[in-house]
Structure 1
Amino acid sequence: MTIPVLDLGPLRAGTPGALEALGAELRHAFTEVGFYFVRNHGIDQALLDATFEAAERFHAQPLDAKLALRINEHNIGYMPLRGATTRVNAVGEVALPNANEAVFFKRDLPPDHPDVRAGLRFRGVNQWPANLPGFRDQVLAACDAFEGLALSLLPVYARALGLAPGYFAPFFTDPMYTLRMSHYPQQEPTAPENEFGIAPHLDTSFMTILAQNRIPGLSLRLTTGEWVDAPAPEGALLINGGMMLRRWTDNRFLATPHRVINRSGRERYAIPFFFDANYTAVMAPITADGSPARMPAITYPEFMTGYQRANFHHANEEKVELQGA
């Protein structure tokens, strides 16, 4: 299998025909593979390296310091090791609780923001560690960079679906997003077969941007059912779609299963960025010919509330993961 590589250089330079060419390439990627790489994306490698370092600094803290920021109903904060079991978006049989710990950040809303004051779910205030100088600034810089890239790709997604370049713009004013900083401890060779860093799953997102990890462990499931290790070409970012994209495209675009197993002998960190439409956007499935859709329209909070209750231990007594990878 070859994961398509989209070169954003011509689009960023305003080259005539670049948007149409990328739209065709993206359509191929999402109907055949479900993942693609981008080159010349405009995010500096030094920023990515510093964000990985920030993730490592966070998880190196004493457990008590991390638990002081325990994850809440907004999916903001720290989730302890084995704090989630992939169920709703599971691929195959439900595995053991995931062998990773993670901390989640969303758009940095002030306490007096109307959505915060109204108590809207998933629109809370970020929880920041007290003794990590520069950490907050690094997280916000990474979020700004990833959000800018995601917004710049929306016209490509529109053209891949045969829509006007600006089709998605109204849905992505003040878009929802989550930066997850994950730590995958080394998994012992004697670990049970059904224990994973993250079990085989589908992401929930419209778009997931994954900075390439120098420590292996991520693998994808092809449409044939075969699992293959994800390559890590220098200077590229890996992007995939999740259940929200699949639903919005009336199941025309793939949400490809993936998993993490860390048997590298080293500690592994990941900084996936999950990007979605704005809070109130009504996402009615886009059919190929205008015929009735298979699924009803849905909003972000409707979709994510049910998902969180099903998968996150802190959200449900069943002990059943929000944003994976």
Structure 2
Amino acid sequence: MTDTIPVLDLGPLRAGVPGALDRLGAELRRAFTEVGFYFVRNHGIGQPLLDETFEAAERFHAQPLDAKLAMRINEHNIGYMPLRGATTRVNAVGDVALPNANEAVFFKRELPADHPDVLANVRFRGRNQWPAGLPGFREQVLRAMDAFEGLALSLLPIYARALDKPADFFAPFFTEPMYTLRMSHYPQQEPTAPENEFGIAPHLDTSFMTILAQNRIPGLSLRLSTGEWVDAPAPEGALLINGGMMLRRWTDNRFMATPHRVINRSGKERYAIPFFFDASYRAVMAPITADGSPGRMEPITYPDFMTGYQRSNFHHAAEKEEKIELQGA
């Protein structure tokens, strides 16, 4: 699989080797114009932290359902989403499938109670919900999000060079980046399950960047430009990274957003800890064109994009919108 998905070695860049940034930029450009995914090695995130974060996800989902529902997902996309609580629609690939056979809990940047966005109830800028009976869980999640954010920020100069921009081009757009850690549980899918039931149906991510930690339980596959679906196991010690619809839009469709899916027929419970990384909340993302001309799409901000996505895919958000419309009728 590493013959198909490029592997970027961050070691030379972290060591300050001359020319490393430009070489990585060229490799990233190839990754996003041919595949849409790439691996990184020598990324600086220790395996113990990743292992402990997978264990935290398992601890969370092992709780009784009532304990998880006590922090049910809200309009900020923070909290617990029950099994089959989402159907992939707006970013679906092919026909819309059955509701996704996974449960998940979502966390964002930890904001204080007196933060202006919290006080103003700015959408997607709410406070995290934390489980009451899991000592050390909050601290582990915050450590993981800090590590993933640090890696994502360190990759931005590579993205800039891949687009023939100065290394610091993206810095003003990521002064306080939006991000989401999703801790998912995929129960075993029975062989008799319907063909259009997936752990997560074929879809495109919404993100600028998604960081996927190596999962010891198989199930993730991606679709190549040929239409072939292939499994995506990471080389030992590597992380898998892909771009989503936000990256594709921002680069004026020059960089790919590659379809992927999860099917858990491993006979075991599967957990995942994807980290979705985006620009700052109020950053205006105008298409980055090859020649500096206006792009095909209008400039957009994170809340503009995510509001429509959430309403289309997450059942709780659609229900909330319907209630608001009825109350206003």
Would the TM-score normalized by the shorter structure come out above 0.5?
yes
- Tell me which of 115, 121, 126 is aligned to 1:124: 126
Residues 166-200 of structure 1 show CA distances to partners (whole Å, capped at 9, x for unaligned) of 00000000100000000000000000000000000
In the alignment, what sits opposite 1:253?
Answer: 255
Q: Give the CA deviation at 1:111.
A: 1.1
Equivalent residue, structure 2, for 1:202: 204
CA distance in 2: counterparts of 1:94 and 1:217, whole angstroms: 20
- Tell me the alpha carbon deviations over residues 126-156 of structure 1, each in whole angstroms, 9 at most, x when there is no partner: 0000000000000000000000000000000
In the TM superposition, residue 232 of structure 1 has moved relative to its aligned partner by 2.3
TM-score by length of structure 1 reads: 0.97
Aligned to 1:290: 292
**1:150 equivalent in alignment to 2:144:** no
CA distance in 2, matches of 1:32, 1:209: 19
CA contact (8 A) 1:211 1:272 kept: yes
For the structure 1 residues 116 and 319, does the alpha-carbon distance in structure 2 shift closer, same or farther, using more than 3 Å as the test?
Answer: closer
Residue 91 of structure 2 corresponds to residue 109 of structure 1: no
CA deviation digits over 1:75-120, x for unaligned, max 9? 0000000000000000000000000000000000011111100110
Aligned positions of 1:270-281 closer than 5 A: 270-281=272-283
> Which residue is 1:88 aligned to?
90
1:291, 1:116 → 2: CA distance? 38
8 Å Cα contact 1:311-1:319 kept in structure 2: no
Q: Does 1:66 align with 2:95?
A: no
Q: Is the 8 A contact 1:313 1:319 kept in 2?
A: no
1:121-200 aligned within 5 A: 121-200=123-202
1:49 paired residue number: 51
1:226 matched residue in structure 2? 228
Q: Which amino acid aligns with 1:18?
A: A
Partner Cα separation in structure 2 for residue 26 and residue 232 of structure 1: 17
Gaps of 5+ in 2: 323-329
Aligned counterpart, 1:99: 101
Secondary structure (helix, strand or coil) at the match of 2:119 reads helix
The 3-state SS of whatever aligns with 2:145 is: helix
Counterparts of 1:221 and 1:20 in 2: how far apart (Å)? 28
Q: Is the 8 A contact 1:82 1:99 kept in 2?
A: yes
Q: 16, 23, 26: which one pairs with 1:24?
A: 26
Distance 2:50 2:317 in 1: 31
Structure-1 separation of matches of 2:53 and 2:282? 30
**Quick one: distance in 2 between partners of 1:295 and 1:119?**
29
Instruction: Say whether the 8 Å CA contact 2:37–2:242 is kept in structure 1.
Output: yes
Deviating beyond 3 angstroms after TM superposition, the runs of 4 or more aligned structure 1 residues are 317-320
Where does residue 300 of structure 1 map in the other structure?
302
Quote how far apart the aligned CAs of 1:319 are. 11
Residue from 7, 15, 18 that aligns with 1:5: 7
Q: Distance in 2 between matches of 1:23 and 1:318?
A: 43
